[in-house]
Chain A
Amino acid sequence: MNLLSEAIDWLFAAERLSGSSPVPLRIGEHLLYTFVAVLVAAVIAVPLGYLIGHTGRGRELAVGLSGAARALPSFGLIILLVLLVGVVRAPLAAVISFVILAIPSILAGAYAGFEAVDRRTIDAARAIGMTEWQILWKVEVPLGLPLLISGLRSAVLQVVATVTLAAYVGLGGLGLYIIAGLALRQFDQMLGAALLIAALALVLDALFAGLERVVVPAGVSVGRKGFRPTSNRRRAVMETSIESGRG
């Protein structure tokens, strides 16, 4: 309890804004790394996931690779990549490992979103004369969006927690306080920074939860009775949440 109040004191001390290592700067760095990594991961994983979801091919491979990527220890990966690309390009190494970390959830969200669309809806779209592109953009993308956002949400949470490690290779972010605090045995600072990271994660999670709700297509949300999950859809939804291993 004592430590907690010290941590809170640390958080609200004047130097947090004015000192040599202001909190807003560190939050900015933290968010920047998070968003760059998730953005790059999305650019890679969304088209790939859509391809898998639309064609139904390559799914086993994606699940396997995603599982392998998830099993990688993030810290080890960062160190390995720093050694590989050189210490001067440490930011690149860090971002690459965050990207690798973010890809599985986004990939799963993208293809599960497509798989969750009723096969009969897609069949009907094709039968009335939509091209494959039109089926993709006018049917699968809008109907699959909630699950994609859910995948992005998991990815953001994983990355925002892991970006803390970036400080180990001298890149700043909120993890800096923790490393510095560890060296100086300043536990108020370490706990204060940990609370900040947790708060940041919660805010981001809430934002994405809201977004997830907003993107549910109107016709799907109005008549829940029309949104009877087929066994296929239920399976897809379950797999995303399992595969993205939230928590």
Chain B
Amino acid sequence: MIEFRSVTKRFPDGTVAVDDFSLVLPSHKTTVLVGSSGSGKTTLLRMVNRMVDPSSGSIEIDGEDTSTLEPVALRRRIGYVMQNSGLLPHLKVLDNVATVPVLNGVPRREARQQALTLLDTVGLDRALADRYPSQLSGGQQQRVGVARGLAADPNILLMDEPFGAVDPIVRDELQQELIRLQRELGKTVVFVTHDIDEAFLLGDQVVILEQGGRIAQVGSPTEIMEAPASDFVASFIGADRGKRALSIRKTEHGFILVDGEGRAAGVLVGTADAG
């Protein structure tokens, strides 16, 4: 469990990126922080592994105040995946994945063996192990980034718009892959995105942010769609328009669902169980 307690971050230039933020992120669940650019998502994420230290307030991981923990040791037990993979360009894929275990003192041979298994885990061909990052596609690089994030078998995985820079088809693939992975691994994932569809797809808990990291609404995707807490949320999730405002239309042969623009969006196949 990660808990933010009245966390404020004021940068030296006076920018208040996060203003009095409090939230509990349950273990083994995916919490998605979603908001427009500059709303403080990255700052919030980077306060978990002390890449940024709060100006006031505290962050606890399983009841331990992170300010009492040594930043380097803390970062090595938390996976971190960023938008542009952040792979080391001069290391082969395998050595990139093995970096953190090697830093932790795992013998190189053993770390490489584990790294190979991790390539399987993230759906990468082992033949890519000897390539350099610059020889991979954007989607492949992101998979390597995820494999590296998982290499030290962390309880917590921080992901900062990891699929933001890949094309939509690859993004769909990576999202599905993450859902599968998370089913198998059950990490405590903190996922940052500005894409509400991605947030609803991946999040067990979705946190909609306004500027300054102010929480507009927290809840499951269902809860937020059922009852947007404000006009801001309603408009942010597009509840009032477009593809999320569905209605039933009777046709000659039965019923279909249409979106806000009246385009066919799907069919009704029955009622699903909650969950």
Chain A positions within 8 Å of B, measured between CB atoms, are 118, 120-121, 123-131, 134, 138-139, 142-143, 217-220, 222-227
Q: Mind listing 7 A-B residue pairs with CB under 8 Å?
A: A127-B75, A131-B72, A219-B133, A220-B89, A223-B134, A226-B89, A227-B89
List of A residues within 8 angstroms of B72 by Cβ: 129-131
Q: Contact string, B70-85, partner A, CB cutoff 8 A, digits 1/0?
A: 0011111000101011
Shortest beta-carbon distance, B205 to chain A, in Å? 23
B88-A218 in contact (CB<8A) = no
Beyond A128-B80, A131-B72, A226-B132, whether A218 also contacts B90 by CB under 8 A is: yes
B88-A121 in contact (CB<8A) = yes
A220-B86 in contact (CB<8A) = no
B89-A219 in contact (CB<8A) = yes
List of A residues within 8 angstroms of B87 by Cβ: 121, 124
Beyond A219-B133, A223-B132, A227-B134, whether A129 also contacts B89 by CB under 8 A is: no
Shortest beta-carbon distance, B75 to chain A, in Å? 4
A226-B133 in contact (CB<8A) = yes
List of B residues within 8 angstroms of A223 by Cβ: 132-135
Choose among A129, A142, A143, A218 the residue that contacts B75 (Cβ–Cβ < 8 A): A129
Shortest beta-carbon distance, B76 to chain A, in Å? 4
What 7 pairs between A and B have smallest CB-CB spacing?
Answer: A226-B134, A124-B86, A223-B134, A219-B132, A217-B90, A129-B76, A129-B75
Interchain CA distance A247-B80 in the complex, whole Å: 46
Shortest beta-carbon distance, A19 to chain B, in Å? 51
Beta-carbon nearest neighbor of B80 in chain A: A127
Q: A127-B86, A142-B90 are in contact. List 14 more A-B contacts (CB 8 A).
A: A120-B84, A121-B88, A121-B89, A123-B51, A125-B88, A127-B46, A127-B49, A128-B75, A128-B76, A130-B72, A217-B90, A219-B133, A220-B90, A223-B133
Is B29 close to A, CB under 8 A? no
Beta-carbon nearest neighbor of A123 in chain B: B86
Is B92 close to A, CB under 8 A? yes
Quick one: which of B49, B88, B149 has the most chain A CB within 10 A? B88
Is B122 close to A, CB under 8 A? no
Interchain CA distance A222-B99 in the complex, whole Å: 21
A226-B103 in contact (CB<8A) = no
Shortest beta-carbon distance, B232 to chain A, in Å? 31
Interchain CA distance A125-B99 in the complex, whole Å: 9
Residues of B within 8 A of A (CB-CB), count: 28
Beta-carbon nearest neighbor of A222 in chain B: B132
List of A residues within 8 angstroms of B149 by Cβ: 128
Interchain CA distance A219-B85 in the complex, whole Å: 15
List of A residues within 8 angstroms of B100 by Cβ: 128-129
List of B residues within 8 angstroms of A129 by Cβ: 72-76, 100, 103
Shortest beta-carbon distance, B145 to chain A, in Å? 9
B82-A127 in contact (CB<8A) = yes
Beta-carbon nearest neighbor of B103 in chain A: A129
Interchain CA distance A193-B134 in the complex, whole Å: 48
A127-B89 in contact (CB<8A) = no
Beta-carbon nearest neighbor of B148 in chain A: A128
Is B91 close to A, CB under 8 A? yes
Beta-carbon nearest neighbor of B92 in chain A: A219
B86-A120 in contact (CB<8A) = yes
Interchain CA distance A218-B87 in the complex, whole Å: 14
Q: Contact string, B195-221, partner A, CB cutoff 8 A, digits 1/0?
A: 000000000000000000000000000
List of B residues within 8 angstroms of A121 by Cβ: 86-89
Shortest beta-carbon distance, A142 to chain B, in Å? 5
B80-A226 in contact (CB<8A) = no
A124-B82 in contact (CB<8A) = yes
Shortest beta-carbon distance, B154 to chain A, in Å? 10
Beyond A130-B103, A219-B133, whether A143 also contacts B90 by CB under 8 A is: yes
Beyond A128-B148, A129-B103, A134-B103, whether A226 also contacts B135 by CB under 8 A is: yes
Q: Contact string, B220-264, partner A, CB cutoff 8 A, digits 1/0?
A: 000000000000000000000000000000000000000000000
Interchain CA distance A32-B170 in the complex, whole Å: 59
B134-A219 in contact (CB<8A) = yes
List of B residues within 8 angstroms of A139 by Cβ: 88
Beta-carbon nearest neighbor of A122 in chain B: B86
Choose among A134, A138, A217 the residue that contacts B89 (Cβ–Cβ < 8 A): A217
